[in-house]
């Protein structure tokens, strides 16, 4: 099983799919991976694509976890996408 980077002070949230604990640091890591994947599109497009991916494919618990995370360790693209998610 991979060892996920954990941000200092990251909390752990239950994941409904497998009853495992979802570390908010892992969510930040995943958001950064998504943002990095879209970065070649340019920053504004990458932010929109990252937001769209998270909105469509992350379950409500994951979304709540990344919103709780507070943004520490997020890339600029991921941070803007999470900020837009928070704004609704």
Q: Considering the domain boundaries, does residue 47 fall inside one?
A: yes
- Count up the domains in the chain and report the number: 1
Q: Considering the domain boundaries, does residue 2 fall inside one?
A: no
* pLDDT above 50: residue 84: yes
Q: Considering the domain boundaries, does residue 31 fall inside one?
A: yes
Q: Which domain holds residue 32?
A: 20-87
User: 36-77 pLDDT, tens per residue?
Assistant: 999 999 999 999 999 999 999 999 999 999 999 888 899 999
Please, what is the Cα angle at 10 between 30 and 25, to 5 degrees?
Answer: 10
Q: Considering the domain boundaries, does residue 24 fall inside one?
A: yes
User: 2-30 pLDDT, tens per residue?
Assistant: 455 555 555 555 555 543 457 889 999 99
Residues 21, 4: contact at Cβ < 8 Å?
no
Q: Considering the domain boundaries, does residue 7 fall inside one?
A: no
Task: Quickly state the pLDDT bin for 1 (edges 50, 70, 90).
Answer: very low
Strand ranges in 1-88 using DSSP code E only, listed in sequence order? 12-14, 21-23
pLDDT at residue 13 in the model: 53
């Amino acid at each position: 099983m991979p060892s996920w980077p954990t941000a200092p002070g990251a909390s752990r949230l239950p994941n409904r799919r497998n009853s495992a604990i979802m570390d908010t640091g892992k969510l930040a890591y995943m958001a950064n991976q998504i943002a990095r994947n879209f970065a070649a599109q340019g920053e504004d497009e990458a932010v929109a694509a990252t937001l769209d991916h998270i909105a469509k494919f992350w379950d409500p618990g994951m979304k709540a976890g990344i919103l709780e995370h507070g943004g520490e360790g997020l890339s600029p693209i991921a941070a803007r996408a999470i900020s837009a998610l928070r704004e609704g």
